[in-house]
């Protein structure tokens, strides 16, 4: 069911297939062409195009694009009290974690009554895409909306595809109600991204779009980047588990299966120093998976993109992990803190037998919007920083300008920018007269 690679007699990645790091890469010119056509039509025709594409792709005729606030409040009123309590606990945990990420503006005082500053300002208007249709993801609402609220974003506009009855899923509306999100729209796919980027009669254009989606949504976000900001170019989800013989093999197996049930392109990889653990994990996977409703998806994912990699030492295992730069990393070793110190690239890290990825997906408070496809080498989990922008401020007095104008003018002339030099000397000259 799952590939195995024994690297105990080799170094670093030797023994892995050449395409191992890129075996989920896919680019489709036909998808991009289709998405470009959707973007153009929504930009041109607005709400009419939204209704057209919803009817074309999902067979749903939209009565209303914007969800009335009464309907959002009703989702909370009619919800299961147990689930409401759980969502509120999760929201509190997520908010508490993200509150620690807030930054303050600062100032450097210069001589002669001058100063330099950096201002942290919230983005004014953010669009949140929440997948829907056949499934519901209220956790996506929490993970994307809360850091925006903590950052101080004034307007949050949430879009989610309709179900077969032409409605946004009630659990998505419930999460929106708990967070007091009032602007919710029934729209999905690339057409919803287009609406957020360009604006329609019902949906205003935003400054940044965040949230996960299928290949059409991801392609649309990539194509509108520059017109608006986006969170990331997200790909299929992934987990790497770095383990020694202290790991509970049934836990490892369950976490690999949990990752695989996302979709057929998800990746679940075990890197272990223990041959016995490797064998037991594979056996546990086969035992567990046959009873699960999403068995076909899981088996396809594990067969095509899963792996068990045997290494001779944790040092070699860490080298593999840093090479993979995974979205999720579980470290289950005897000295997990020491192992953690060697990790250079990972989106979200989970320590020990009792910290599964699912804990971060829903409840702990860390964000589950993470860099995929080795982009953890240079990017980070979604955070409050994604919803603020920085402005720098320069405030020089006449005396301060006079003290530096000639030096800077000379610098400008070295680059051939004589008008720059003139603007500096003009101020210095005026100050000396």
Model pLDDT for residues 323-347, shown as the tens digit of each residue? 999 999 999 999 999 999 999 999 9
Instruction: Check residue 433 and give its pLDDT.
Output: 47
Residue 243 belongs to a domain: yes
Do 415 and 359 lie in a common domain? no
Residue 104: burial class (beta carbons within 10 Å; 0-12, 13-18, 19+):
exposed
Average confidence (pLDDT) over 228-257: 95
* Domain total in the chain: 3
Q: Which residues contact 24 (CB under 8 A, 6 or more apart)?
A: 235, 236, 265, 267, 305, 373
Instruction: Check residue 224 and give its pLDDT.
Output: 98
Kindly report the average pLDDT of the chain as a whole number: 94
Average confidence (pLDDT) over 351-356: 98
CATH number at residue 76: 3.40.50.1980
Instruction: Check residue 16 and give its pLDDT.
Output: 78
Do 139 and 282 lie in a common domain? no
Residue 13 belongs to a domain: no
CB 375 within 8 A of CB 346: no
Instruction: Check residue 47 and give its pLDDT.
Output: 97
Average confidence (pLDDT) over 371-381: 96
Do 260 and 186 lie in a common domain? no
Instruction: Check residue 381 and give its pLDDT.
Output: 97
Do 125 and 57 lie in a common domain? yes
Judged against a pLDDT cut of 50, whether residue 41 lies above it is answered with yes
Do 225 and 255 lie in a common domain? no
Q: Three-state DSSP class for 36?
A: helix
Token duo for residue 94: 């997520």
CB 324 within 8 A of CB 23: no
Do 296 and 193 lie in a common domain? no
Do 119 and 55 lie in a common domain? yes
Domain boundary among 175, 203, 230: 230
Instruction: Check residue 317 and give its pLDDT.
Output: 96
Do 197 and 285 lie in a common domain? no
Residue 3 belongs to a domain: no
Judged against a pLDDT cut of 80, whether residue 21 lies above it is answered with no
What percentage of the chain has pLDDT greater than the value 70? Answer: 96
Residue 17 belongs to a domain: no
Residue 328 a catalytic site member: yes
What percentage of the chain has pLDDT greater than the value 90? Answer: 89
Residue 110 belongs to a domain: yes
Q: Which residues contact 10 (CB under 8 A, 6 or more apart)?
A: none
Judged against a pLDDT cut of 90, whether residue 31 lies above it is answered with yes
Hey, what's the torsion of the CAs at 408, 414, 418, 424, to 10 degrees?
0
| pLDDT tens per residue, range 291-328 | 899 999 999 999 999 999 999 999 999 999 999 999 99
Residue 4 belongs to a domain: no
Do 192 and 260 lie in a common domain? no
pLDDT band at 13 (very low <50, low <70, confident <90, very high): low
CB 368 within 8 A of CB 139: yes
Hey, what's the torsion of the CAs at 135, 140, 142, 146, to 10 degrees?
-150
Q: 233 vs 107, which has greater pLDDT? A: 107
Q: 428 vs 41, which has greater pLDDT? A: 41
Residue 338 belongs to a domain: yes
Do 38 and 164 lie in a common domain? yes
Domain boundary among 188, 209, 230: 230
Domain boundary among 184, 211, 230: 230
305, 328, 345, 368: the active-site residue: 328
Do 159 and 282 lie in a common domain? no
For residue 296, the enclosing domain spans: 236-378
State the alpha helices, DSSP H only, in 309-354: 314-324, 336-341
Instruction: Check residue 26 and give its pLDDT.
Output: 59
Residue 14 belongs to a domain: no
Do 197 and 258 lie in a common domain? no
**Across 146-264, where does the E strand assignment appear?**
155-160, 183-186, 208-210, 229-230, 238-243
54, 282, 327, 330: the active-site residue: 327
Instruction: Check residue 165 and give its pLDDT.
Output: 87
Judged against a pLDDT cut of 70, whether residue 24 lies above it is answered with no
Judged against a pLDDT cut of 50, whether residue 104 lies above it is answered with yes
Residue 327 a catalytic site member: yes
Instruction: Check residue 27 and give its pLDDT.
Output: 58
Average confidence (pLDDT) over 382-388: 98
**Which residues pair with residue 22 across a beta bridge?**
none
DSSP string, 271-301: EES-HHHHHHHHHHHHHHHTT-TTHHHHHHH
Average confidence (pLDDT) over 215-240: 95
**Across 178-305, where does the E strand assignment appear?**
183-186, 208-210, 229-230, 238-243, 267-272
The Cβ-side half-sphere exposure at 253, using a 13 Å CA radius, reads 20
**Across 105-182, where does the E strand assignment appear?**
106-110, 114-122, 125-129, 155-160
């Amino acid at each position: 069911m799952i590939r195995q690679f024994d690297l105990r007699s080799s170094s670093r990645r030797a023994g892995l297939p050449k395409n191992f790091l890129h075996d989920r890469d896919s680019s489709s010119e036909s998808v991009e062409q289709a998405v470009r056509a959707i973007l153009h039509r929504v930009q041109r025709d607005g709400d009419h195009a939204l209704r057209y594409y919803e009817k074309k792709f999902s067979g749903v005729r939209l009565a209303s694009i914007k969800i009335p606030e009464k309907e959002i409040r009703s989702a909370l009123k009619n919800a299961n009290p147990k689930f409401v309590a759980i969502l509120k606990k999760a929201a509190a945990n997520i908010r508490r974690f993200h509150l620690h990420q807030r930054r303050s503006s600062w100032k450097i005082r210069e001589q002669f009554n001058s100063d330099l500053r950096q201002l942290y300002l919230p983005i004014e208007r953010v669009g949140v895409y929440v997948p829907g249709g056949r499934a519901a993801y209220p956790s996506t609402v929490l993970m994307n909306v809360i850091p925006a609220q903590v950052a101080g974003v004034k307007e949050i506009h949430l879009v989610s595809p309709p179900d077969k009855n032409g409605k946004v899923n009630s659990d998505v509306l419930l999460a929106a109600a708990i967070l007091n999100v009032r602007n919710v729209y029934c729209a999905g796919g690339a057409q919803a991204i287009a609406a957020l980027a360009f604006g329609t009669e019902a949906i205003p254009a935003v400054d940044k779009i965040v949230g996960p989606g299928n290949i059409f949504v991801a392609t649309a976000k990539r194509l509108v980047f520059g017109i608006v900001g986006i969170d990331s170019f997200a790909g299929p989800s992934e987990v790497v588990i770095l383990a020694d013989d202290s790991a509970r093999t049934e836990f490892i197996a369950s976490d690999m299966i949990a990752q695989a049930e996302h979709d057929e392109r998800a990746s679940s990889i075990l890197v272990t120093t223990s041959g016995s653990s490797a064998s037991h994990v594979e056996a546990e996977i086969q035992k567990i998976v046959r009873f699960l409703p999403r068995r076909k998806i899981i088996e396809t994912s594990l067969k095509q993109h899963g792996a068990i990699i045997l290494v001779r030492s944790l040092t070699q295992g860490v080298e593999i992990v840093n090479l993979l730069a995974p979205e999720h990393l579980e470290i289950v070793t005897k000295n997990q803190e020491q192992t953690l110190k060697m990790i250079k690239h990972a989106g979200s890290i989970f320590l020990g037998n009792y910290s599964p990825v699912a804990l971060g997906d829903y409840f702990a408070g860390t964000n589950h919007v993470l860099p995929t496809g080795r982009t953890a080498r240079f990017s980070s989990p979604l955070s409050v920083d994604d919803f603020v922008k920085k402005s720098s401020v320069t405030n020089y007095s006449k005396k301060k300008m006079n003290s530096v104008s000639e030096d800077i003018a000379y610098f400008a002339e070295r680059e051939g920018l004589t008008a720059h030099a003139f603007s500096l000397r003009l101020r210095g000259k005026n100050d000396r007269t």
